[in-house]
Structure 1
């Protein structure tokens, strides 16, 4: 199968590209190479004859039409998006243009291509989204997001992703475009751009800097190892029922404070300080505006219908992640001078 993967030089997209190539698929990686993208993420497959790269922006419809015509993919995996909540607070326009207008362009380019090929039943448009579109949950562990949970986005980022989800459903219902959708929980793992919580904590700790925790650290997230997520996305693409959405979770709920404490414990074990613990660097900072209290995914649908469950516990995945950052300083050091890295964003209310 030939896949057109948008955002394939990003964190999750590059994991999909690497796994797809390893699984024998052909991959066309379409990426605009904005601030969070890095071609080093796919360097291991760059010379593979099954891999091709197209530098293009999903806001550029003509470039998308050209990519479809040139490469004739069997399926689309649409991951390209602006994804950092803090940046969406400071610059929401970027999120509207990329996540909403960009998804519209992808849908129209895919629909035109699909029609030109005679509307084959085998074509798939897989839209990858986030659990943040569902809003915030109470602390009750029996309450989780399901595929039937009403949308209730609370940030410019989640609102833009919610809008993109609605567009995909509309193109399925109105035009018959063969789509599948997924909404995932918080990802972490190798190649994670150093502006998100896990890499920020690891890299600040290694530099002896404060480890910032928003508010009191009680916000809860469900943590999903990125390689598990990539595997799940490929399963949904190939086995998912058309027009259906699947929630992908890690089954690993932790408070932000618990997560940071676990990272500190791992670092204490792997790279101990001369004295004290990395946890001594934990610093509480002003909370993010509109910070959702809890996200948690009920994974029954993907488990029962498609037979997929995560294989990596959060403790195991975090240890792998810490070791990867310790082993790959050239990768993250090259990114630390990019726009906004190391600076607190999203403080505008």
Structure 2
């Protein structure tokens, strides 16, 4: 039985990775210290998700370890002896990073270095998958020629119709403190791949979402938006007239790609991982879609001040992913994704009451 080590196993992508590989016969070991509860309070607590994983999968074991603890990470990887590592643990919020920059950098940059070095000391041959972010491009996409349409912003030039490629510059732009710490991690993952000839990859995620997401206002836009609609709570739009665009990818399709990479790993690779144009949506369009599903109108407030470093329009170009891994494709569209998140929030909130 192959063994997989997953950091951040209580989070959205981490838990999806656990479920997928456990179902496919792997022994899965999760590491998660539930720092989301520290970062976001009770609404970010992932204890329920860890409990769900333990109850559901007999081949899953969990350790409450902090990736910032270098010696414990080295010991953990040495003792677990994994056949592959998926590193999803992170501080994910722009806003929180600005108020807690040391915590942000220690988790995102130093924690990733700790995992890379622990892996290298154990083996330079096992695949290492890192969940990076499209925020490594900073606000440079905002300076492309954009056109304002009725419900969204869009790229004015045909060459960007399918989105941003991996060759897009990450330099000379405002990233947010969060984006900068993720750049440090991203580049280090690439460097360990190229310098030590290790099979590593950075997945520069767009909006990664799904039914197991504990969305909060500071992170997890789609999950939080749908929760607000279900509970008739006020949602705040920050700038850009609510026409800012994101491409959303279901966690199931994220994990499918991770499986493809682990099966046929490459050295020091980078992929823009998102839903592509077909799964892109603006906030205003998201309001309409969830209202059509739930029957509830969105209650919202508009704040003219956009979040610093936020993207006006971001769509991932998936051509490199599909070229390297032709068996992979997007399988879950926007409507299905919205419905699954809405139904998951209904179940979770009913349980609490």
Counterparts of 1:201 and 1:259 in 2: how far apart (Å)? 8
- Counterpart secondary structure, 1:76: strand
Counterparts of 2:85 and 2:350 in 1: how far apart (Å)? 32
Question: Residue 104 of structure 1 is aligned with which of 84, 102, 113?
Answer: 113
- Runs of 4+ aligned structure 1 residues displaced above 3 Å come to 42-45
Residue number in structure 1 paired with 2:64:
55
Mapping for residues 165-184 of structure 1, pairs under 5 Å: 165-184=186-205
Residue number in structure 1 paired with 2:151:
none
Residue number in structure 2 paired with 1:125:
128
Q: Is the 8 A contact 1:18 1:42 kept in 2?
A: no
Instruction: Give yes or no for the alignment of 1:18 onto 2:37.
Output: no
Q: Is the 8 A contact 2:193 2:268 kept in 1?
A: yes
Q: Is the 8 A contact 2:249 2:274 kept in 1?
A: yes
1 or 2, which has the higher helix percentage? 2
Query: For residues 194-220 of structure 1, what are the alpha-carbon distances to aligned partners after superposition, in whole Å with 9 as ceiling and x for unaligned?
Result: 313223223323333222211211211
Counterparts of 2:86 and 2:280 in 1: how far apart (Å)? 27
- C-alpha displacement of 1:151: 1.0
Query: For residues 266-302 of structure 1, what are the alpha-carbon distances to aligned partners after superposition, in whole Å with 9 as ceiling and x for unaligned?
Result: 111xxxxxxxx513x1321243233221211110111
- C-alpha displacement of 1:192: 1.3
Counterparts of 2:196 and 2:175 in 1: how far apart (Å)? 30
Question: Residue 92 of structure 2 is aligned with which of 71, 83, 90?
Answer: 83
Question: Residue 273 of structure 2 is aligned with which of 245, 248, 259?
Answer: 248
- Counterpart secondary structure, 2:91: coil
Change (3 A) 1:89 1:257: farther
- C-alpha displacement of 1:44: 4.2
- C-alpha displacement of 1:174: 2.3
Residue number in structure 1 paired with 2:31:
30
- Counterpart secondary structure, 2:131: strand
TM-score, normalised with respect to structure 1: 0.85
Gaps of 5+ in 2: 38-43, 147-154
- Counterpart secondary structure, 2:267: coil
Counterparts of 1:10 and 1:296 in 2: how far apart (Å)? 23
Tell me the number of residue pairs that the alignment of Structure 1 and Structure 2 aligns.
318
For the aligned residues, what is the CA RMSD?
A: 2.0
Query: For residues 146-171 of structure 1, what are the alpha-carbon distances to aligned partners after superposition, in whole Å with 9 as ceiling and x for unaligned?
Result: 12222145211111111101111222
Question: Residue 175 of structure 2 is aligned with which of 146, 150, 154?
Answer: 154
Instruction: Give yes or no for the alignment of 1:292 onto 2:319.
Output: no
Residue number in structure 2 paired with 1:315:
335
Change (3 A) 1:200 1:126: closer
TM-score, normalised with respect to structure 2: 0.84
Q: Is the 8 A contact 2:198 2:267 kept in 1?
A: no
Counterparts of 1:171 and 1:241 in 2: how far apart (Å)? 12
- C-alpha displacement of 1:145: 1.7
Residue number in structure 2 paired with 1:9:
10
Residue number in structure 2 paired with 1:213:
237
- Counterpart secondary structure, 1:287: coil
Change (3 A) 1:211 1:303: same
Change (3 A) 1:289 1:183: closer
Moved more, 26-35 or 138-147: 138-147
- Counterpart secondary structure, 1:278: coil
